[in-house]
Amino acid sequence: GENVEQHPSTLSVQEGDSAVIKCTYSDSASNYFPWYKQELGKGPQLIIDIRSNVGEKKDQRIAVTLNKTAKHFSLHITETQPEDSAVYFCAALTPSGYSTLTFGKGTMLLVSP
Amino acid sequence: EAEVAQSPRYKITEKSQAVAFWCDPISGHATLYWYRQILGQGPELLVQFQDESVVDDSQLPKDRFSAERLKGVDSTLKIQPAELGDSAMYLCASGERGPSGANVLTFGAGSRLTVL
């Protein structure tokens, strides 16, 4: 099955800095890569996603890049704010049968004022 | 904004007891998922429904876990008997096809289980 690895496990930045979280996946058939943000006591919330036929996608301060050859994708957050502090999960969708979403272990991002 | 409803939010039980979690997905979402999230880790799929049918329960410990979605709307996940290692957050999600063509999941707030 698919295996998604995510780094780093924790990331501390100063407000205004950029943050980058990286993920690798193992199944070359995976074709959809969402990123979720999970705040304390809440369920994960989709913040951005990308399909395998696109190399980069941006939405205001967040962007995702995908390198299909290397089988890795990254989340970039610019001009970080304290409210960006949360746990971020990457995931990969393998299109077999009804498709299965496999998550990374998460990155705890702490943005200090 | 439509939400996935889950209850209870918190459950404390003793090992060997039975527990049940309920999920009401977003109206019209045919796909429903139950995930388990152990503290400090990512969600892991337990079971996936398409309407009332189970389409993937390969990771569901069937000796103690069961899930149903009788009318293809709300769903119940049951654990009997509960074990210490079952302590986790149980997340329900429902999905619909998004602009990208893939199934986009919306998660509920989860049910946190503590087994003593």
* CA within 13 Å, CB half, A43: 22
Model pLDDT, residue A97: 65
Span A31-60, pLDDT tens digits: 999 999 999 888 999 999 998 888 999 999
- Are A34 and B104 an interchain contact pair (Cβ–Cβ within 8 Å)? yes
Model pLDDT, residue A107: 97
Span B58-83, pLDDT tens digits: 999 999 999 999 888 999 999 999 99
Partner A contacted by B43 (CB < 8 A) = yes
Comparing CA positions, the residue from B6, B11, B9, B10 lying closest to residue B25 is B6
Rounded to the nearest 10 degrees, how much is the dihedral formed by the CA atoms of A51, A54, A59, A65?
90
| Residue A99 structure tokens | 């498709």
Span B16-62, pLDDT tens digits: 999 999 999 999 999 999 999 998 899 999 999 999 999 999 999 99
Q: Which residue has the tokens 């369920």?
A: A43
Decide if pLDDT at B12 tops 70: yes
- Do B11 and B17 form a contact (C-beta atoms < 8 A)? no
Partner B contacted by A44 (CB < 8 A) = yes
| Residue B14 structure tokens | 């003793």
Decide if pLDDT at B116 tops 70: yes
State how far the Cα of A107 lies from the Cα of B14, in Å rounded to an integer.
Answer: 32
Measured in degrees and rounded to the nearest 5, phi and psi for residue A6 equal -130, 135
State how far the Cα of A38 lies from the Cα of A45, in Å rounded to an integer.
Answer: 6
State how far the Cα of B60 lies from the Cα of B57, in Å rounded to an integer.
Answer: 5
Residue-by-residue pLDDT tens, chain A, 113 positions: 889 999 999 999 999 999 999 999 999 989 999 999 999 888 999 999 998 888 999 999 999 999 999 999 999 999 999 999 999 999 999 877 667 789 999 999 999 99
- Do B33 and B95 form a contact (C-beta atoms < 8 A)? yes
- Are A43 and B101 an interchain contact pair (Cβ–Cβ within 8 Å)? no
